[in-house]
């Protein structure tokens, strides 16, 4: 079975223990969403496909009176994940930044409108950096105890550096534009 990226995220999240679709979505939100996101509409169907392929095992549970399905990684699933992690080929790398898209066409705007746009962008980057900082604090403590959050902490750190860089660039560019106008 050829793994798509959603499948990879699901399998990867299960390496720490069984999870439901909802659990995974919540984990993604605070961790990988900054570089790879997935919605319910992808998660639940993908779990079923993975089960059919034998890469995860469903274990129906009770949650109040409501049905709930948690999935556990199988040995085949763990192997498939490892194989994917070391597979060769182009690493997909793609960004969608509506702020930059607007800025690219900003010669259609008045100077003050362009500056206002840069401020909006900066606020967004700063907010993302703050989010990541918020999840990093408890994570850093947990890493001291056990080591398996090391790489999540690393990627979060990269995100912080990235967003800080972007916010800084906006600030400088705001000043440049203000001076030029």
Partner DNA sequence: GAGCACATGTAATTTGTTACATGATTCC
Partner DNA sequence: GGAATCATGTAACAAATTACATGTGCTC
Give, rounded to a whole angstrom, the gap between the first and last alpha carbons of the chain: 58
CB of 89 to its own copies, least distance (A): 9
Cα–Cα distance, 173 to 124 (Å, whole number): 16
Which of 30, 57, 69, 133 binds DNA (CB under 7 A)? It is 69
Does 165 bind its own copies (CB under 8 A)? Our answer is yes
Closer Cβ to its own copies, 57 or 106, answer by number: 106
Give the range of 64-72, 115-123, 155-163, 164-172 binding DNA by CB under 7 A: 64-72
Q: Are 19 and 9 in contact (CB under 8 A)?
A: no
Residue 3 neighbours by CB under 8 Å, 6+ apart? 11, 80, 81, 84
Q: Report which of 61, 52, 47, 63 is spatially closest to residue 8, judged by C-alpha positions.
A: 47
Distances (CA, A) of 52 to 1, 48, 74, 169: 10, 6, 12, 48
The number of residues in the chain equals 181
Does 175 bind its own copies (CB under 8 A)? Our answer is no
Sites of contact with DNA (CB under 7 A)? 4-6, 20-23, 26, 37-42, 44-45, 48, 63-69, 94, 96
Sites of contact with its own copies (CB under 8 A)? 5, 8-9, 12, 15, 31-32, 34-37, 78, 81-82, 85-86, 91-109, 113-114, 120-121, 124-125, 128, 147-148, 150-152, 154-155, 158, 161-162, 165-166, 169, 173
């Amino acid at each position: 079975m050829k793994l798509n990226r959603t499948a990879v995220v699901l399998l990867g999240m299960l390496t720490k223990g069984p999870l439901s679709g909802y659990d995974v979505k919540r984990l993604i939100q605070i961790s990988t969403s900054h570089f790879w996101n997935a919605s319910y509409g992808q998660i639940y169907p993908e779990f079923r496909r993975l089960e059919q392929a034998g890469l995860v095992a469903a274990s129906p549970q009770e949650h109040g009176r409501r049905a709930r399905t948690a999935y556990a990684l199988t040995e085949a699933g763990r192997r498939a994940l490892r194989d994917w992690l070391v597979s060769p080929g182009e690493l997909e790398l793609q960004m969608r930044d509506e702020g930059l898209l607007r800025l690219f066409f900003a010669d259609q705007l008045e100077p003050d409108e362009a500056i206002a746009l840069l401020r909006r962008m900066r606020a967004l980057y700063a907010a993302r950096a703050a989010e990541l900082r918020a999840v990093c604090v408890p994570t850093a403590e947990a890493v001291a105890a056990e080591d398996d959050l090391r790489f999540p902490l690393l990627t979060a750190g990269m995100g912080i550096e990235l967003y800080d860089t972007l916010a800084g660039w906006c600030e400088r560019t705001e000043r440049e534009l203000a001076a030029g106008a």
